[in-house]
Amino acid sequence: MLLAFVLIVIGLAATVYGARLVSQRHRPIDLAGALLAAAGLALALAGVGRLLSNKFF
């Protein structure tokens, strides 16, 4: 259960940081921020899946 919360927190932090990079920087940093935001969202969703089901991974 602790792993799920850690994944959610790190994923949300990466999503927010990536969105800030997209909105405040120029190329190519904004492209890296977009990828970071997407990866952070996927990580947070994996944490939610782990929280809902112990057999998720």
pLDDT digits (tens, 9 = 90+) for 1-17: 999 999 999 999 999 99
Check the CA dihedral 46-52-56-57 and report its sign.
positive
Report the alpha-carbon distance of residue 39 to residue 53 in Å, rounded. Answer: 21
Question: Mind listing the pLDDT tens digit for each residue in 1-57?
Answer: 999 999 999 999 999 999 999 999 898 999 999 999 999 999 999 999 999 998 877
The structural domains of the chain, with segments of one domain joined by +, span 2-52
